[in-house]
Amino acid sequence: MATIKRIGVLTSGGDAPGMNAAVRAVTRTALSCGMECIGIRRGWQGLINGDFVKLDSGSVGHILSRGGTILYTARSEDFMTEKGRQKAVATCKLLGLDGVVAIGGDGTFRGALELSRLGVPVVGVPATIDNDVGCTNYTIGFDSACNTAIECIDKLRDTMQSHERCSVVEVMGRNAGFLALYVGIAVGATAVLVPEHELDFDRDVIERIRESRLAGNTHFMIVVAEGVGSAVEIGKQIQEALGIQPRVTVLGHLQRGGSPTARDRETATRMGYYAVKALAEGRGNCIIGTQEGGIVELPIEEALAKEKHLQMDRYHIMETMQFGNWVKSAP
């Protein structure tokens, strides 16, 4: 087994609360193993450009509670080319990096696979608020994003109820509805629209609002994953069908910001620790994930081939909660 003397760590793709906790864990675990740790700034593009900073225990102090990422993050078109990847390999050789920990989502891991095929050991750590990485039950940032969205919707509900209005709230989730469904259950939404569930507008939105109104409710909360469509357009359709004027709120990048929750800090710390251990023990070219609460390690190719499906039992639970409300409130 080759001795690992120096490793790099980077964050790539969309930022997620808890990335700093993972960077901290990678750095301090590396130092405890007698390795140096180099922070690569601005993701794969930074590796191409040689944009780096040397990390030590002090430089990652007090970042556990900070949102965002001190290493910055970016998407790199250059890294998608063979020429760009060769430049990244050259940077690894110049800096003497014996391995890299890449923190991000599927796009980050596809880049990690390409780099590993060029001889650089890479370990991936899943961090995305969408929780849509197939090889892991949980991704860093999901819990924080959910809590941010829930807090915003709870506050919105206070004012919307005062005016007896319909609210349409758009949350992130271009290709996956994990965030929307989790938040929808937590806030007691009238309806939740997710990409995985084929939308019948009359059945899934209009009839739900109508039944809720007949049960005596005067405020209706519709949570929409951005992948379903524009919340503004959905609001217009509701107005045309029911004659009520919804208020539309797009939470957008609010969901990415803020201090990470305890779950994200703890999970990121464990994942960062095991990522360095994998490199130290000669097991690069893998992704660290969670299964049933424990840490697992999968080869990158196998991990990228896995798919994650929305737990539709949660969707049925959400429907049951609304039906139970209507029955209870009905005359």
| Calculated CA dihedral for residues 144, 146, 147, 150, nearest 10 degrees | 160
How far is the C-alpha of 234 from the C-alpha of 246, rounded, in Å?
9
56 is catalytic: no
Considering the candidates 98, 130, 132, 264, report the single residue annotated as catalytic: 130
Question: How many Cα neighbours within 13 Å face the side chain of 239?
Answer: 13
Q: Provide the greatest CA pair distance for the chain.
A: 75
How far is the C-alpha of 15 from the C-alpha of 81, rounded, in Å?
23
Active site residues: 130
